[in-house]
Structure 1
């Protein structure tokens, strides 16, 4: 069983966005469904888009949209059609990301881990995140920067470990299978945040892989507990 983590030891803390910093997983689900519908899809096609999004977890949306076009609606993947889907998704998502809940006590957690530098790393679009977080007054929490798609998290981690941006010991706080696999594969410790995740059967996964779990982001300080 994993021991409760000592957050005071970390030099770098990397946080996922959806389901960790923002309560936005359902927001993303709705955006995928509504994008498919607005672009002429049936309810069944829109639900297949959602199912693929949930299956892939934190993979950037570019890959999911390509899959939807080629494998769900069986259309040629032209640059124009791909961009139309990307633009539609962005318009639908922007307003809801400005309204969704921020993790309670986020600033208190930042103050309590003042020895560490923070970084945001998301499967969401990087340019979009770098617009949303300043508008929500959250960008100042992440002195190491805000990173997202289309670059995958494991690729970001490899580059920033190589150039020294990420200093060890380092911790990744996420809510998906890919978060766990990408971070531990890169040598970071990992905490799974459960209450806002949309990962199916996360309890079984965390137990099988001995993942430390906490209910909320702010509980990572004192109430993280071994996998159930």
Structure 2
């Protein structure tokens, strides 16, 4: 049983924890790769890479797509095409995907804790989205995302005094766990919307607490 009153800061990943948006973004990687000119096998390769490295931002993933899958140089024009196309494909879906059902109740039960989003998603996009979906005021510690990675974000926010310890990270990817470890945060794996195929074995091997969905208290 989690004792959330113990924590001064609660850190949340966005996709797969706060929003049911993992599958939406996975499909967008395939679609934007096809629109770029890849064949279906190449498009599936970037999808597989994305799922394998869940929680990491789209920037290095598209660099990998260009360099390793398409065997092309990483140019500003190519990156702009991919990044803009990806953002366009996910925009409407993010505005309408499911929000974790216990989020409001959890906020009310942890009023003394600072809340923070640390995501692989684009930071400006996240802040606009959370504003449009009337979620932004819940996260008084800030909403942070790429191009900075999660390990860098956590280190920066701890150094600035914004992320207060003890802190707990709710995540749904292996990288979320690694980021939490890097910052000495406690970690809970949220399983309902994860795309990690072997998450049960990973959590068991690493003695990670697992919850299906965010709790209400």
TM-score (norm 1): 0.93
**Counterpart for residue 121 of structure 1:** 118
CA contact (8 A) 1:103 1:218 kept: no
Query: What are the superposed Cα offsets for residues 145-177 of structure 1, whole Å, 9 maximum, x if unpaired?
Result: 100011000000001111111111111000011
Q: What CA distance in whole angstroms lies between the structure 2 residues aligned with 1:92 and 1:41?
A: 17
Q: What CA distance in whole angstroms lies between the structure 1 residues aligned with 2:212 and 2:134?
A: 24
Query: What are the superposed Cα offsets for residues 110-143 of structure 1, whole Å, 9 maximum, x if unpaired?
Result: 0011110100110011111011110111111101
Specify every segment of 5 or more residues in structure 2 that has no aligned partner in the other structure, as ranges.
Answer: none
**Counterpart for residue 138 of structure 1:** 135
**Counterpart for residue 224 of structure 1:** none
Specify every segment of 5 or more residues in structure 1 that has no aligned partner in the other structure, as ranges.
Answer: 222-228
Q: Does 1:202 align with 2:199?
A: yes
Matches within 5 A, 1:45-56: 45-56=42-53
**Counterpart for residue 88 of structure 2:** 91
What is the deviation of 1:218?
2.5
Query: What are the superposed Cα offsets for residues 166-197 of structure 1, whole Å, 9 maximum, x if unpaired?
Result: 11111100001110111122111111000100
Q: What CA distance in whole angstroms lies between the structure 2 residues aligned with 1:146 and 1:163?
A: 15
Stretches of 4+ aligned residues off by more than 3 angstroms: none
Q: Secondary structure at the match of 2:215?
A: helix
Q: Does 1:211 align with 2:208?
A: yes
**Counterpart for residue 32 of structure 1:** 29
Query: What are the superposed Cα offsets for residues 62-85 of structure 1, whole Å, 9 maximum, x if unpaired?
Result: 000000011101111111111111
| Aligned-CA RMSD value | 0.9
From 159, 163, 172, the equivalent of 2:156 is 159
Q: What CA distance in whole angstroms lies between the structure 2 residues aligned with 1:16 and 1:217?
A: 11
Q: Secondary structure at the match of 2:117?
A: strand
**Counterpart for residue 39 of structure 2:** 42
From 55, 65, 88, the equivalent of 1:58 is 55
Q: Secondary structure at the match of 1:192?
A: strand
CA contact (8 A) 1:104 1:218 kept: no
